Amino acid sequence: MKFSHSGSRALTLPALAAGLALLFTACGQTPGETGLGYLEAQGIRISAPLYHLSFDDLPLDSVFATEVPLNHFGESLLVVGRESEYLTKARLGFQITTQAQRDSLAKGLYLRLTTIPLSGNFAGRAALRDAARGRDSLRVLVESFSMPDSNNSLNDSFTVFQRRILTTPVPFSTLDSRFKRRDTITVYPKRGYPDSGTAQDSSQASLLPQLWNRLRTGGGSDATRKWLVFIELSPLTTADSGMFHFNLLNVGGNDMIRRKYVSGLWLGRYKGDSLANVGAVLTPYFVNTTRGYVPAGNYEAQFNGSSSRSMLHGISRGVHLGINRDTLITRIRSKLNALEPGLGNRYLDTGFVSTGTFDRRFFVPYAEMRLPIDHALTRVPSAFAIDMAVTTDVDSLGDASAAFHDDINIAMGDSMRLVVQGGAAGSSRPVDTLIVSYRPHPADTTLRQALTRWAGEPTIADTVTLNTDGRQREITLRRHTGWSHATTLSVRAAARLGVEVFFNVASITEPRFILDSTGNSISENANYRLTHRFFRPGADSLNVRVTRGLRNLLNRVPGSSVSPDMYLRSVDRAIFDTASVNSLTYRRVVQPAFGEIDFKRGGDGKLKVGLELYLYPLEAGQ
């Protein structure tokens, strides 16, 4: 892999051009901060000159990936289907609460799915057509779980079942079999994506006889009971599958539009492409979240491939990148010595090292990493650019537990106590003990459960259901009081539960914008390319900012066992049409794209990256 920059150079402060000044101020912790506040509090000042060092083949000390099941709760889009090694299934929740709804239900029950309409000029419409081309139908298994309300108010049932059913990946197989039913339907997504023009109405409805009988005859009289109904849609076959997208958006308050274009349960007789009063569409109930009221629906995606060191776009799996501090220091010493004999030795010898809580050798105003792409293994079927971000873990483990580098194995029926140090940056770093237990699932012997609780705050507990496939997954726990982020565990469920000693309890994200010295965003300058970190299909490398990660790595007491973990991921699974630019604003693509990005490694299996590193030497203050 060849990169365009190489070598080293030194620049004195008077010689810094506006572009490098921007680089220096691009590392604010939050808007209004440039990263100098911490140095000032430590009594440290910046000296001249600024050194720019380029590395083309810096080996990463560690690269690993874990998989997080994607859970798009409350979105206005459903994705159902199977494509390559990706499988997506959708869940929706409904309430049957009124006498009018029960009266309509007596006349019939259908599932109505509406594909994303092609009307309107949005980015990605050609990709929707391509996805449906050659795949005329989609066979779908509709699993339903329906509960009659216990006190005729739905309040208690909603509280108990909404989170358990919709927002966690608990299989329906673990639920009470008395309340479950199965139907199969066939939908034809291609009807919504004609080869030319647009479809006025792409809605299709399929009868659900098993669920209908359940609601009419099970659990009490239809005239007196209110119901909670959860359904899950899964593709049945591979031959006619694909990633199909259905509209869940409750468009405004216009009942005519809602009746015609929104997916949901259709109560009563159904007549396609008609506003005739033959029935009513029951849309998913709305849930109050931090994002406001969202429809009670989601889709979950799973990846069944074998790669453990690639990044998955659309599946919430990134790669964790680790740089060996000693290796980097050695490379910096060599570069500086080549620039001026003995220069690196003077900066890095013992006499220049702080004896306090801060390594006083260098301050990093800007750093950028280039990861070489392996085109033989990278598979991103979409032609759209994917936005990337790097998050740096600044706390990781407490010192007492940092000696662990591999999985800790927890036997079935046993537990393990893990000391975790966390909290917001600059806080007192509270320490607590996380207790992790492992047991068989009480209702399904093919599944396992990981149970976690904090010794100092036992009410913050989580129970996570796991498949016993031996694959690595990350599970996010509820946030500990006083900590800025939730704790993330990397686990592998098999005969024993393997827990990777990695926590993400106070992470910070690389800045998305270049800031001036006052912390204000700069949108037009020669370095605008740095405000976006896109992977574009066909590119030979991925460039990402790692300013904070490298600063955390270098600005520590030498020999400290706590080191940062840089987590590379796609940003909110966003994809953009970068060919359509309006005033430097890219057009976001409506439908998601799933893809796997692998990075090129050398013969020794190590991933070697390029690094652009800017360094200011630091000196003691007063």
* 384 plus 413 within the same structural domain: no
Strand partners, 180: 145
* 141 plus 153 within the same structural domain: yes
Residue 102 has pLDDT above 70, yes or no: yes
Model pLDDT, residue 396: 44
573-599 mean pLDDT: 78
78-96 mean pLDDT: 90
* 484 plus 538 within the same structural domain: no
Instruction: Work out the percent of the chain whose per-residue pLDDT is above 90.
Output: 18
| Final residue before a domain boundary, out of 482, 505, 528 | 505
Residue 560 has pLDDT above 80, yes or no: no
* 215 plus 282 within the same structural domain: yes
* 484 found inside a domain: yes
Q: Render the burial of 21-36: b for 16+ CB within 10 Å, e for the rest.
A: ebbbbbbbbeeeebbb
Please report the sign of the dihedral spanned by the C-alpha atoms of residue 233, residue 237, residue 243, residue 245: negative
Count of the separate structural domains present in the chain: 3
Residue 400 has pLDDT above 60, yes or no: no
Residue located via tokens 């629906």: 297
* 247 found inside a domain: yes
Residue 168 or residue 439, greater confidence: 439
* 245 plus 105 within the same structural domain: yes
Residues of the chain by 3-state class (helix, strand, coil), percent to 5: 15, 40, 45
Q: How confident is the model at residue 459 (pLDDT cuts 50, 70, 90)?
A: confident
Model pLDDT, residue 528: 45
* 489 plus 526 within the same structural domain: no
193-221 mean pLDDT: 79
Strand partners, 297: 92
Residue 225 has pLDDT above 90, yes or no: no
Tens digits of residue pLDDT in 327-358: 899 999 999 999 999 999 988 875 555 556 66
**Please, which residues have CB within 8 angstroms of residue 476's CB and are 6 or more apart in sequence?**
68, 486, 487, 488
Residue 574 or residue 31, greater confidence: 574
Q: Render the burial of 401-422: b for 16+ CB within 10 Å, e for the rest.
A: bbeeeebeebeeeeeeebebbb
Whether pTM exceeds 0.75: yes
Model pLDDT, residue 620: 57
* 170 found inside a domain: yes
Mean of pLDDT over the chain: 76
Tens digits of residue pLDDT in 172-184: 878 888 889 999 9
Model pLDDT, residue 593: 82
Least trusted range by pLDDT, from 213-222, 268-277, 343-352, 390-399: 390-399
Please report the sign of the dihedral spanned by the C-alpha atoms of residue 512, residue 514, residue 518, residue 521: negative
DSSP calls for 359-382: --SEEEEEEEEEEEB-TTT-B--S
Model pLDDT, residue 8: 31
| Final residue before a domain boundary, out of 303, 327, 362 | 303
* 419 plus 524 within the same structural domain: no
| Final residue before a domain boundary, out of 467, 483, 505 | 505
Tens digits of residue pLDDT in 262-316: 889 999 888 765 556 678 889 888 877 666 677 888 888 888 887 777 888 888 7
* 167 found inside a domain: yes
Tell me, what amino acid is at 325? R
493 and 87 Cβ atoms separated by less than 8 Å: no
* 150 plus 190 within the same structural domain: yes
Residue 133 or residue 104, greater confidence: 104
Least trusted range by pLDDT, from 16-20, 165-169, 192-196, 530-534: 16-20
393 and 564 Cβ atoms separated by less than 8 Å: yes
* 309 found inside a domain: no
* 461 plus 593 within the same structural domain: no
* 156 plus 259 within the same structural domain: yes
Residue 578 CA to residue 102 CA, distance in Å, equals 49
Q: Count CA within 13 A, CB hemisphere, residue 216.
A: 15
Model pLDDT, residue 265: 93
Residue 498 has pLDDT above 70, yes or no: yes
* 585 plus 599 within the same structural domain: yes
**Please, which residues have CB within 8 angstroms of residue 498's CB and are 6 or more apart in sequence?**
407, 408, 409, 410, 491, 492
Closest CA to 287 of 445, 538, 92, 134: 92
Q: How confident is the model at residue 541 (pLDDT cuts 50, 70, 90)?
A: very high
* 615 found inside a domain: yes
Model pLDDT, residue 43: 67
* 183 found inside a domain: yes
Range of the domain at 444: 395-505
* 408 plus 459 within the same structural domain: yes
Backbone phi, psi, residue 222, to 5° = -65, -25
Residue 553 CA to residue 558 CA, distance in Å, equals 10
**Please, which residues have CB within 8 angstroms of residue 55's CB and are 6 or more apart in sequence?**
331, 335, 609, 610, 611, 613
* 311 found inside a domain: no
Tens digits of residue pLDDT in 239-258: 888 888 888 876 555 666 67
Instruction: Work out the percent of the chain whose per-residue pLDDT is above 70.
Output: 73
Closest CA to 297 of 78, 109, 88: 78
Residue 434 has pLDDT above 60, yes or no: yes
Model pLDDT, residue 340: 93
Residue 30 CA to residue 15 CA, distance in Å, equals 28
